[in-house]
Structure 1
Amino acid sequence: MYKAPSRDVTDSWLDHGFFVLGGAASVWLAFLLVGESFHLGWGRLWFSFVFWAFLAYLLLPRLHRILTSIYVPGYFIGRARTSDGLLGDPVNVALLGTEPQIHTIMDSAGWTKADDVTLASSGRIVSSTILRRSYTEAPVSPLYLFDRQQDFAYQQEVNNTPGKRHHVRFWRCPDGWLLPGGHKVDWLAAGTYDRSVGLSLFTLQITHKIEQNTDVERDHIVRTVSQANPDVLVQVIEDFSTGYHSRNGGGDSISTDGDLPIIDARRVPVSTEHAPIATDSRDRRPAPTMMGAALVAGRAIAAFGLVMALLTGSDVTFDNLTDPGMTTAALAVVVAVVLLFGLGEVFLAWRVFLGSNGARVIAMTLSSASILLQAVDYSTGTTHISLEAGLAGLATDILVLLALSSQRARIFAKRQRVPAVPASVVSRRVAS
């Protein structure tokens, strides 16, 4: 389970600095990539794909995140947010009840719990969409409420393809939190209908396009749950928010009348043997953390490769890093230093993967120092950065900084674990 960490002003300023530097460095990398494209020619399809991926999944999201931190309110306004900080889908359902009761009513209503977003599930949804194969547990992209992504999501596939589906995300409300107007609820949810797959208007990422009238999906969720569970009660807060027409984080038009139904599942019985232990989305290791750890490990592999090159007498390595007349003792010192650096990077990558905030900060500090040194050398003309010389290393440092300074990596690293609630305790709570 997750316990909110105490706020540390110094850590906050450090994170802001790393975050902004990552954005600036990504703009510089985009400039370098465009420059390289003129030398390669735009006919190189692979390079165009790499540039689009960098633009859509790294540069534009980081720029959006910097801007939205300035103009998007940080308090609850009835909208989820994307990981880039853009306003996402409307929050259109509230619920009362325990987590096991929520799972029970959704299962009985014919909804399927979505898989978490992993490399394997992401690859499967891409192949299933292209080949039009069924994937009833297809993952949904993360949206944020209360500064964290959904705790879980449910969906109903349409026409045996994940390209079209009903889906709804759920967030557990903080202890003691009340809706505007003073209503007490345990969960908030955002339900929309995916009608097709396309490109995001704001980031150019591949994403699902949703149906404009989100009230239809809201009413579908309430209807299926109510019909399948006679113990469920529903009340509606009319005009909870002003009816509006807007766009979600992918640029799709959305509209709603502003009503908010509250599904009361507190009377729903739950089989104790199937009662799950309460979970929290912040306890799951996010993709940016795994990516950052993998990139740091990649630097370690590069260091070990350099050691091998030094030991085998690679001409290229000696030309760049050593004096051809270097003594054996001096060469041994260079090898030892590089080897120790590689071993340190392995340990650092492992600690980053485990969620150590200190290791995350050290990794970002090393990458930031490397980026700034290369920027100074580049600006003074001391060095030239190209695909053949230096660009790969610079890109790795920038990617490490982007990944580990992201909101998801920061929240995971700063979480404080408390003992999980035993299943027997959960069962007693459900029964009561």
Structure 2
Amino acid sequence: MFKAPNRGVTDSRLDHGFFILGGAAAVWLAFLLVGESFHLGWGQVWFYFVFWAFLAYLLLPRLHRILTTIYVPGYFIGRARTSDGLLGDPVNVALLGSEPQIHKIMTAAGWTMADDVTFASSRRIVSSTIFRKSYSQAPVSPLYLFDRQQDFAYQQEVDNNPGKRHHVRFWRCPEGWMLPGGHKVDWLAAGTYDRSVGFSLFTLQITHKIEQNTDVERDHIVHTVSQAEPAVAVRVIEDFSTGYHTRNGGGDSISTDGDLPIVDARQVLVAPAQEPTQTDSRDRRPAPTIMGAALVVARALAALVLAITLLTSGGEVDGVSLDDGSSDPQSTMAAIVLVAGVVLVFGLGELFLAWRIFLGSNGARVIAMGLSSISILAQAIDYSTGTANLTFEAGLSGLASDILVLLALSSQRSRVYAKRQRVPAVPPSVLNRHVAS
């Protein structure tokens, strides 16, 4: 008897295919950009900035993500992961209590909730860092645990300098999940101290550099909370993990003794109206989704401009005309209108697609990735056969746009957001597995 394939499995295979194709296309684009650099000469500083941005924020993260999928465990090992899949900061605090209770003890202890990462907050932290202006709610980069980014984060700015701060990220534990050893907790947190701003060793991105001894920050978090709220109780699981010295996702050295304090805030009193509050980071529209939708809009506008140009120029675009002189003017005009109509419909369809992507439609995301993939593969065939030459003057910008759409929408953050209503709970039996010391 025929059995229809599981839709979740099919979606997963499609995502893996798009993800890998995006990585391969990014490598090809880097090759093309390097080739173009020889024609530009050494005086084009803007090009090297663009190439660094492409390398640091698109190509290297995608390559890391592909490789870490193979060799980094997907279960809990006491470390958060970066959006590139690299092992990030150590999970060094656990908590018991509701979300309002966690917010209350952190606020009482003098911590400030960090803003979400948006274009506005990113622009503000850049300007604040450059001009040394205070930004006490500066956003923190996303780290992942339980296959989702932190639900919220708190920080304490040092000397009104956003380049130096105490900060801690919080993740709500899945229902029924327990720490290795059978300890029940409601929240896990990773706290570190930002000492300066620099470049990531692994991706070359601009990022905060953290203090090596993460135990100092862990103890600072527990101390401030305990001093501010007498109802808070603390117990420590000694040697929860083996003490180690390694590097985090930015390449910074980190060390810890492996102890894990459990902060119990269940006796802290909060207003009854606050109790229903529950934050889920998967409900926030991520930057890659916004970027992917914006690129599809740009592609749609280009199609609309092309349609208008065809109608107003008699079918001639960039010196190429649809009129070969062999047809009568009436037939030629009919052909121009037909082509312009098809391009116009495509552009309007792309606008609708972009709107659905922005709203979080997984189907629209898959369709957009499919269209970009077809375009990339067609251009790759033309390039390999010598039919087309991709340069800054012809074709390269369109190819780059398709690759950027594929990279943005195939990212983990965009995928999780689009599937957020269908993300299955991770079985506790899987999450409770851990690597033996």
* Same topology, TM > 0.5: yes
Cα distance between partner residues in 2 of 1:321 and 1:23? 36
State yes or no: 1:341 paired with 2:346: yes
Residue 209 of structure 1 aligns to a residue whose secondary structure is strand
Match of 1:416 in 2: 421
What code does the residue aligned with 1:50 have? V
Match of 1:361 in 2: 366
State yes or no: 1:199 paired with 2:204: no
Q: Is the 8 A contact 2:315 2:321 kept in 1?
A: no
Match of 1:27 in 2: 27
Unaligned runs of 5+ in 2: 1-5, 424-437
Cα distance between partner residues in 1 of 2:276 and 2:109? 18
Match of 1:328 in 2: 333
Cα offsets for 1:193-220 (capped at 9, x unmatched): 0000000000000000000000000000
State yes or no: 1:12 paired with 2:12: yes
Q: CA deviation at 1:320?
A: 3.7
Cα offsets for 1:28-77 (capped at 9, x unmatched): 00001111111011221111100000000000000000000000001000
Structure 2 vs 1, CA of residues 79 and 314 (structure 1 numbering), >3 Å: closer, same or farther? Answer: farther
Structure 2 vs 1, CA of residues 285 and 321 (structure 1 numbering), >3 Å: closer, same or farther? Answer: farther
Match of 2:394 in 1: 389
Structure 2 vs 1, CA of residues 307 and 231 (structure 1 numbering), >3 Å: closer, same or farther? Answer: same
Match of 2:429 in 1: none
Alignment of 1:143-292 (within 5 A): 143-274=143-274, 277-292=277-292
Residue 399 of structure 2 aligns to a residue whose secondary structure is helix
Structure 2 vs 1, CA of residues 321 and 387 (structure 1 numbering), >3 Å: closer, same or farther? Answer: farther
Cα distance between partner residues in 2 of 1:218 and 1:160? 22
Q: CA deviation at 1:271?
A: 2.1
Match of 1:407 in 2: 412
Q: CA deviation at 1:161?
A: 1.3
Cα distance between partner residues in 2 of 1:87 and 1:364? 28
Q: CA deviation at 1:307?
A: 1.5
Structure 2 vs 1, CA of residues 293 and 321 (structure 1 numbering), >3 Å: closer, same or farther? Answer: farther
Q: CA deviation at 1:7?
A: 7.6
Alignment of 1:290-301 (within 5 A): 290-301=290-301
Q: Which moved more, 1:285-294 or 1:409-418?
A: 409-418
Cα offsets for 1:164-186 (capped at 9, x unmatched): 00000000000000000000000
Q: Is the 8 A contact 2:365 2:409 kept in 1?
A: yes
Cα distance between partner residues in 1 of 2:49 and 2:389? 24
Cα distance between partner residues in 2 of 1:285 and 1:214? 31
Q: Is the 8 A contact 1:318 1:324 kept in 2?
A: no
Cα distance between partner residues in 2 of 1:215 and 1:316? 68
Q: CA deviation at 1:417?
A: 7.6
Q: Is the 8 A contact 1:310 1:318 kept in 2?
A: no
Q: Is the 8 A contact 2:293 2:357 kept in 1?
A: yes
Q: CA deviation at 1:309?
A: 1.4
Q: Is the 8 A contact 1:42 1:48 kept in 2?
A: no
Q: CA deviation at 1:316?
A: 6.1
Residue 349 of structure 1 aligns to a residue whose secondary structure is helix
Cα distance between partner residues in 1 of 2:148 and 2:60? 21
Match of 2:142 in 1: 142
Match of 1:89 in 2: 89
Q: CA deviation at 1:274?
A: 5.0
Q: Is the 8 A contact 1:173 1:186 kept in 2?
A: yes
Q: CA deviation at 1:346?
A: 0.2
Structure 2 vs 1, CA of residues 254 and 45 (structure 1 numbering), >3 Å: closer, same or farther? Answer: same
Cα offsets for 1:212-264 (capped at 9, x unmatched): 00000000000000000000000000000000000000000000000000000
Aligned length: 413
TM norm structure 2: 0.92
Cα distance between partner residues in 2 of 1:164 and 1:315? 59
Q: Is the 8 A contact 1:115 1:138 kept in 2?
A: yes
Q: CA deviation at 1:192?
A: 0.1
Cα offsets for 1:90-131 (capped at 9, x unmatched): 000000000000000000000000000000000000000000
What code does the residue aligned with 1:367 have? S
Unaligned runs of 5+ in 1: 1-5, 419-432
